[in-house]
Structure 1
Amino acid sequence: MPEERIQRRLAAILAADVVGYSRMMSEDESGTLAMLKQRRQEVLAPLVSQHGGRIFKLMGDGVLVEFPSVVDAVQCAVDVQKGMAAQNAALPANKQVLLRVGVNLGDVIVEGSDLYGDGVNLASRIEGLAQPGGICLSDTAHHHVASKLSLDYHDMGEQSLKNIAKPVRVYSVGPGAVSAGSDEQPQQRDKPAIVVLPFTNMSGDPEQEFFADGLTEDILTELSRFRELLVISRNTSSRYKGKAVEVKKIAKELGVDYLLEGSVRKVGNRVRITVQLIDAVADRHIWADRYDRDLADIFAMQDEVTSSVVATLPRRVESATRERAANKPTENMAAYECVLTGKLLHHRSNKADNAAALEMLERATKLDPKYAHAHAWLACTLGQSWVNGFCADRDATWNRMLEELQTAYALDSDDSDVHRILAAVSLARDDFDKATYHQERALTLNPNDDLVVVQQGEVLTWLGRPEEGIDWIKKAMRLNPYHPERFWNHLGRAYFVAHRYAEAVDAFKRITALDHTHHAFLAAAHAQMGNQAEMRSHAGDVLSLKPDFTVESYLPTVHYKRPEDRDHHRASLLKAGLPA
């Protein structure tokens, strides 16, 4: 008789087991068994089903699950670990159920409902390398999910595994992606998690269904560019389409902090789009907006609304998370919360707040040494200290800033903030080619980040293209209506370089607390317009705030590429009566 042909298929395999199972059983056998049964029924089984998986083997302390998609397998692993962490939060350490999880994509042998072969064995071996509460991926699994799931991956190098012929490269998923955020373990949460729920079509028009789905997907895709957010995948969020929004339930299932929901309604030749950002922990709305647009160009409208939502949302999340952090004891703040506080202090641009920002950002890098975003913002704040003379040793500060930037770049060369800050540093050195390269890279990585967009305007201004710079700065202001006040400073400078003095004055006057550099621009602009009284008043304010001010010592702090722009600024300051 002919030999029976072995049935094979490609599958994503998730392997998980309980850490310390033998100890738990010896201490409380019946309680441990009851706990594991409860976790399987309430956490594991629903999430496996939700992500399209199939449990094909249960052991006393472990489970093997098959998925047709490796993206779903990894997202399920993340969500399971979040669900386990959420249920562990109220338990003492010796009662907590901690899982190790491994995921592999490989060839498996099918026998009835069971699966065998290296594809299964490798997932089990990789799982043993995971930290308690952690996840490890094979190289093949990582290759397929790295560009699709925004997680914190760490290369563990090649690993020799029992009964596996060749060494296998393994990646771990950083704890910030899977932690439920415990006060006792602040290092386990370095970014807030958000889910973008499918937008609801309120029109009853099937054509608007496609528009609503497209808008949801575009917002989710663009939001994923912000490295400071963990954005739940589309495959996961799409399972809530057409269902009533139960905030607490969704938050618990996905382990998220925030939900974005929205609706689309067509009325005649107009479309109304509403969006709402919900704090899932407090179950309250923290931001909402409405967009009324003509249907003339539906794709242009989709792009415009996407940009507006995506530019505003991360700053609203930052603000809400900062409010939460303000209610915690300082010693319990997580790395992400330290970065938020550091950013807020940095934006105030004074010596005392700069020093406080450095403290918070130093702490963030100690809580999580591999947190690229924290290193980038520490470099940014050191740069602010260097530019404004807040530091005692300028050379040491400059060198430390470069070290932090190099660290950030090595950890995550695709973080738009890293390139944004490298561009700013290059400008400070008058290295316009490098500034242009890093700025364009930052813009490519995240074209909806208002800080990147406003800096595009700033760079163009220094390159001698102020009219283009004005357009970019105004775009940043439209993108983020809650923009920092310093955007007016960038706009005022661009108008001044463009010889649009009245508009420059109007921009600078929108700044609440004017410093000596603002007064210098105002004095120069009024001098060019022939407003003698205003000119003298602002020139006096310059010398009052900085008695040792001279034009020649000030000009190196503004970074013009074209000599004629520098000459124009020098002549304007001298015309205002400021000392040479």
Structure 2
Amino acid sequence: MVTPEQSQLSQLNQVIDEQMSNPAFGIDELCRTLGISRSNLFRLLKEQTGLAPSLYIRQLRLAKARDLLEHTDLRITDVAFQVGFERSQMLSKYFTEAYGISPSEFRTKQVGADGFPAVQHESPTPDTDVFPVVDQQPEKEQPPVPVVEEHVITLPAVQVAWYRRRQVQLVALALLLVLLVAGWFSRLNPFGDNTPAASSIAVLPFRNTGAADTYYFSSGIMQQIHSSLSRLENLKVISQASAMLYEKTTKTPAEIAGELDVAYLLEGEVLQVGQRVKLSVELILAADNRTVWSNTYEGDEQHLFGFMGKVSGQIARELNQQLSQAMRQQLKKAPTQNMTAYNEYLKGQYLLRNRSREGILGSLVNFDRALTLDPGYADAHAGKAMAHFLLLAEGINESRQNKQLAEKEALDAIRLDAQNAQAYLILAKLYQAQGKWEQAKTTFQIALQYSPNDALINYSLSLLLRTIGQVDGAIDYSTKAYALDPLLPVILMGHVGNLLAAGQYEEARKLIAEGNRLHQQVANWYWTTAAYYFAREQYELSLQELDKGLAISPATKAFLYRKAITKARMGQPEETRAILDTLPDIVENYAYRAEFYAGLKDKGHCLAYLEKGLTTEQIPLYLKVAPLFSFLHGDPRFTAILHRAGLDGPVSMPGQRNLVK
């Protein structure tokens, strides 16, 4: 009997097959065609195949490429085009990762009895790199993988065309069957995908056992390992922001893992004395507080990167992550060969954490020192890009020069390291600030390709999608960001905001209850709770939440302004009009004035200031979906403003398609 899920998967395969040659066809287009949300698509494929959507689509593309290479005389560039790769180099890269042989070699080299190599999996044998380490647990022996032979049938020429089409379908079906069986077996595993916290880990702050002034080093080592693990798409890695809250905790591993919803914890201890380092790491299965694996490095700094790569690879194997050859090489890759430059970079990263003027400017000094020692240090360029961007974002120095420097340093980082997710993140934010929505979206997605477990990138992309009206996608990405960073207030605030834009009030209410428990001392949290009641037109309750925020931060102008707007909606316009009378009519205040007139539901003045703001990039956030501006929906003048801002087009809500407001 065919289940509804299998029927839906069959329809999904048909859609992918029809769009195979379209390189732009991806997850968003697939969701729109099928009329399902990203989260539902992700859940369907995880349950039925054990794969993420992007990887599943790629597997089907590669299966068809294999068939075309085997049964046609098409050039490799034409094969790449037929299966949706814009460049033959992309096909070659993924084909080699999947099958262990390049497309051209496949055509000329017979491998094995069936003429094709098996898909390569992570070797169960230890790395051959030699380090002065103590490994306290042997590698787990892996069971043999059964080999299924294929038989190639030669058909008469008149049947070749039909056979090729049929062969593509059969290959896809065979692949699906293998994935279904693999998914079934994974559910027998107590840490399989059906377990809420399966394949999940939190890298806790490493203990610094050296001098106090080497704390930055232990923090940086933890960050380096965290960054490596975050590259693994199918591994849930809790963000550093949430993990840092447990730096001096007395909670048990089980309690920490329960709060973060993970199965494993990684703890570490670092001692740095001069150029000598001792690093000990321990992987803990939190449920029973059992050490699964531990390792120690003791030696000079120069070999430290190799050891950290070994640690990341070992953890990946323990958590059943399949690593391609390219990913194994990436995990072993040293960011620089100059350890003095590395130390300067870590100091710069440490100074960036508090986002103060002094910290940001100080970080630039350290990043410059790192680049003097190693001009090809991509991470140091990305660090400079972040510093210049923060000078803008934090309102410390909003000069055009900082925008240009942020872009230049990000591009320099990408030139040196095409997989530098941090650099792509900065570029995406710069594009977003300029209203280049599609460029920003694409760049965020590239950043996620290289660091899929980065909570900040997922969160930032979700806010962009809310801005341009793709609310369903916004919720999908903020859901993941919240799972990766469950204790950072701003992540939850953004997620609730996305839910409110979609009208999912019940889900928002549940999360607000959790936020009230965790963030009651955070002033900005009450901006979110006030927004919930404002969206529901419960203005009196919204005012009460704003007052809670003001009690913590009495001088916050945004709270005072929102109180006046809320009162205006209650029929009490006096405060709003008083503010408008005294607020200077200058560029910096155009967005504020538009919001005040929106509170008064004064269409004429509100639209006038929105039009003024367009020319200077001073328009309110989330203009397209914000409840404050919903009274303008349907007005041709508002539609024209959205068009000029590049925000026209449908609003996509969860479970709906092409909802135009």
Q: TM bucket by the smaller chain?
A: 0.3 to 0.5
Which structure features the higher share of strand residues?
1
Greater relative contact order (CA < 8 Å, ≥ 6 in sequence): 2
Which structure features the higher share of helix residues?
2
Q: What is the TM-score of this pair, normalised by structure 2?
A: 0.37
Q: What is the TM-score of this pair, normalised by structure 1?
A: 0.42
